[in-house]
Amino acid sequence: MVGRRGAGLGRWFGSSVKPGLVRGGSAADDGGGRRPEAEGRERKNPTILEVIPLMGEKEGMESRRAGKDIEEGEHERKGTVWSASAHIVAAVIGSGVLALAWSMAQLGWVLGTLVLLGFAGVTYYTSTLLADCYRHPDPVSGTVNRVYIDAVRAYLGPREVFLCGCAQYVNLWGTLVGYTITAAISMMAVQRSNCFHRNGHGARCESSGNFLMLLFGSAQVVLSQFPSLENITWLSVVAVATSFAYSFIGLGLAAGKLISHGEFRGTLLGVAGTSHTTKAWNAFLALGNVAFAYTFADVLIEIQDTLKSPPPENKTMKRATIFGIGLPTIFYLSLACTGYAAFGNDAPGNILTGFGFFEPFWLVDIANICIVVHLLGAYQVYAQPIFGRLETEISRRWPDAKFMHKTYSVKVPLAGGGGPLSFTLSKLVIRSGLIMFTTLVAMLVPFFNAVLGLLGALGFWPLTVYFPVSMHMAQRKIGKWEAKWVLLHGLSFFCFLISIATSIGSIADIISSLKLAAPFKMNY
């Protein structure tokens, strides 16, 4: 799942990018949404990983909160239009691509193509608006906003800061649920692929996902305790490599299947033979899948924060956005159209695990293993901001509790070259508890496309459309009922309706699937 998503956060960038450059941004630290001064302010809001306390030490958290503005020399920015383009591509392309062929099947050749291009166009336009909000109040000479929520705080009021924080954390946690489901499905696919290879394609090769979900969750509990994971450069490299690997394997397998049968399948209006209600729900769900595949706005400002100036960062970022959205759009169209042409209206919900492909089994296995490896690292990238938020709040409420600050050491052969692994009880309990709860929810709703669509609905409108449009109108002081005011509000309202429809479709699919599924029983 992802993409973002996954994604990331975003999708993990190279070593030239600071650790804070991950999807989701930081949270509303005080919930109060204080407006910064327009000139010469000291940055109060940390980047998303700077909020993470290694050992819960109050002093460490406070020092991170007092980070200086980048123009005061905290780090040197060397990024160019090409590096920013690469970061955007890495942030956009993820496991969200796995559902594109199915989404095209629900919408048909005409509407499916228009939806992909439409989401690309809206994402590009609102990204250009957001790029101008990197500085406040002037987009060229104003004060820098290092992360998404800093910009919201600078241009909008306390309510918007709170809503932005809520949207980000709901999206982050929902992504953890989706990643758990997707990883389990991919591990089950590897088991079934090998079973089919040994016993033939007609063999009864069932697999249960609950144990695999617990296994994935257990691995995350262990990974969450390693302090070195809070420096995620190596995760960035692995995640980018594996996400591109399975994406291109999926495209190659779909192209091979199309060539093998030589028939260009699919219909103009998509899946036929179902009730109008079912077709409508699935179409809404497909919109959410596409929205999830394009979501990256909440990391855009952090990418922009790596750019050198002159030229002005907003101009460079707008150029980078053309390439960063254009290339994934070409790839998405290629995969969606090739997959739909190969499978027609029978396109699987997940192109690599729906067993449209049996051979070469080893290549299918490699693709699914890449997904699992990608999600092992990506899960931690999305989870770390939530861990940091929880630990910060608990430490603030009970600053003198030994539970929060007393450090224990355990010798672990694989940790730090055989050195001791240090942790606090609070870190062990809080992080393990969150992962266990997330795994439990994933076991209750193990539905790939429905969860993916719901995540797309929850993240696309508020983070990609509403906040960028609202900040742009505040920055340009666009008057009420002016032509541009009407057009921008119309765009935002239209995207809001799409998100509502997508949410309804996703929830309807989850409810329908739950009627046919037994609790804690994920068979595949």
Render pLDDT for 415-469 as a digit per residue (tens, 0 to 9). Answer: 445 556 666 787 888 899 999 999 998 888 888 888 888 888 888 999 999 999 9
Residue ranges, the chain, pLDDT below 50? 1-73, 230, 415-416
C-beta separation of 387 from 430 below 8 A: yes
C-beta separation of 136 from 142 below 8 A: yes
Q: For residue 131, count CB atoms less than 10 angstroms from its CB and return exposed for 0-12, middle for 13-18, buried for 19 or more.
A: buried
What are the structure tokens assigned to 331, written together? 């790839």
Say what the alpha-carbon torsion angle 294, 214, 49, 235 is, to the nearest 10 degrees.
-70
- Alpha-carbon span 505 to 16, nearest angstrom: 40
| CA distance to 186, 193, 270, 356, 415, per residue, from 204 (Å) | 18, 11, 30, 16, 42
- Alpha-carbon span 14 to 26, nearest angstrom: 20
| CA distance to 197, 231, 293, 392, per residue, from 254 (Å) | 19, 37, 19, 47
In total, the chain counts a number of residues equal to 524
- Residue 423 β-bridge partners: 408
For residue 455, what is the domain's CATH number? Answer: 1.20.1740
- Alpha-carbon span 346 to 101, nearest angstrom: 10
Total domains, the chain:
1
Residue 32, domain member (yes or no): no
The pLDDT assigned to 20 comes to 36
Q: Phi and psi for 121 in degrees, rounded to 5?
A: -65, -45
Residue 507, domain member (yes or no): yes
- Alpha-carbon span 130 to 164, nearest angstrom: 14
Residue 395, domain member (yes or no): yes
Residue 426, domain member (yes or no): yes
The pLDDT assigned to 485 comes to 94
Say what the alpha-carbon torsion angle 437, 440, 445, 446 is, to the nearest 10 degrees.
120
Host domain of residue 379 = 58-75+92-196+216-516
Residue 31, domain member (yes or no): no
- Rg, the chain, Cα only: 23
A 10 A CB-CB count for 66 gives 11
Residue 19, domain member (yes or no): no
Residue 470, domain member (yes or no): yes
Is the alpha carbon torsion for 177, 175, 500, 150 positive or negative?
A: positive
What are the structure tokens assigned to 194, written together? 């090998």
Residue 203, domain member (yes or no): no
